[in-house]
Structure 1
Amino acid sequence: MTSWKDVEAAVPEFAARVRAIFDAHKHKTIATLRADGSPRISGIEADFSDGELTFGSMPGARKGADLHRDPRFALHSPSVDPPEGNPAAWPGDAKISGRAYPAGPVGGGTEGELFRADIEEVVHTGLNADATKLVIESWTPARGLRRVERA
């Protein structure tokens, strides 16, 4: 299993940029798979702590049922528009995909179930310094970090 601390150890600068984008806003979006295999998008809060990426599901929520049936997920950071007049200052957006495994109750007086992420891919999408190309950086445990620029 690949935890967030493994990503930080392998590519610390990349992991820091990705985490900053996720931490910039409270609400994220998660995709899970319904029983019929079609995608479900849900709002969610996620937490990076103690070297783990975790997120919760309220009692009876469909996303929790989805993850118990099929643990695959894709988590997307909040998206913001590039700054007016300075698109190169756009921090970009980030995605993390993998499998989510039950990790006990949410705790802290909140009902629900906590899930821990086994990370399979981390992606940061942004612009180059001139804001003329889209830059996609992706990391997997097997391949490492890869950078692609598109005009």
Structure 2
Amino acid sequence: MTSWSDVEQAEPEFAAKARRILTAYKHLTLATVRADGSPRISGIEIRITDGELTFGSMPDARKGADLLRDPRFALHSATVDPPDDAPAQWPGEVKVAGRARCTGDLTGAVEGLAFTADLHEVVHTHLNEAGDRLVVEFWHPGKGLRRVERE
């Protein structure tokens, strides 16, 4: 299993940027696989605590049922547009893909199921310093960090 702490240990600067973007807003988007194989997107809140990326699912929620049946997921940070007058200052967006492992019931005031992410990919998409090219940085376990610039 690859945890958030594995990303932090392998690429501390990349992990810190990705974490800032993932936690800048409360609501993110989670994609799961429906029983018929089609995609489903749902709103989600995450936490990164003790080196683990975690999230929950309320009782009887479809996303929880999806993950129990097929643990594959993709997570997308909140999306904001680059500033028109300073596009290079856009923090970008982060996408995480992997498998969700159910760790039992949520603890605290909210009922539901708790999940921990086994990470297969972390991607940070942003603009270069000139603000005129798209930069895609992606990290995979065992492969390290790669960077691609596109026009």
Q: TM-score range, shorter-chain basis? A: over 0.9
Report the alpha carbon displacement of residue 128 of structure 1 after superposing the two structures with TM: 0.2
Report the alpha carbon displacement of residue 70 of structure 1 after superposing the two structures with TM: 0.4
Report the alpha carbon displacement of residue 141 of structure 1 after superposing the two structures with TM: 0.4
- Which residue of structure 2 aligns with residue 58 of structure 1? 58
* 1:122 and 2:129 aligned: no
Superposition map of 1:27-46 within 5 A: 27-46=27-46
* Paired residue type of 1:150: R
Query: Which sections of structure 1, spanning at least 5 residues, go unmatched?
Result: none
User: Secondary structure at the residue paired with 1:8?
Assistant: helix
Query: Which sections of structure 2, spanning at least 5 residues, go unmatched?
Result: none
RMSD: 0.6
User: What is the distance in 2 between the residues matched to 1:62 and 1:49?
Assistant: 25
User: Secondary structure at the residue paired with 1:102?
Assistant: strand
User: What is the distance in 1 between the residues matched to 2:150 and 2:88?
Assistant: 15
User: Secondary structure at the residue paired with 1:5?
Assistant: helix
Report the alpha carbon displacement of residue 29 of structure 1 after superposing the two structures with TM: 0.1
- Which residue of structure 2 aligns with residue 94 of structure 1? 94
Q: What percent identity do the matched residue pairs reach? A: 65
- Which residue of structure 1 aligns with residue 47 of structure 2? 47
Per-residue Cα deviation, 1:49-107 (whole angstroms, up to 9, x for no partner) = 01000000000000000000100000000001112300100000001000001011111
Count of residues in Structure 1 that have an aligned counterpart in Structure 2:
151
- Which residue of structure 2 aligns with residue 19 of structure 1? 19
User: Secondary structure at the residue paired with 2:112?
Assistant: strand
* Paired residue type of 1:50: D
Report the alpha carbon displacement of residue 108 of structure 1 after superposing the two structures with TM: 1.2
Per-residue Cα deviation, 1:28-65 (whole angstroms, up to 9, x for no partner) = 00000000100000000010001000000000000000
Given the two structures, how large is their TM-score scaled by the length of structure 2? 0.99
* Paired residue type of 1:15: A
User: What is the distance in 1 between the residues matched to 2:58 and 2:12?
Assistant: 32
Report the alpha carbon displacement of residue 18 of structure 1 after superposing the two structures with TM: 0.3
* Paired residue type of 2:130: D
User: Secondary structure at the residue paired with 1:80?
Assistant: coil
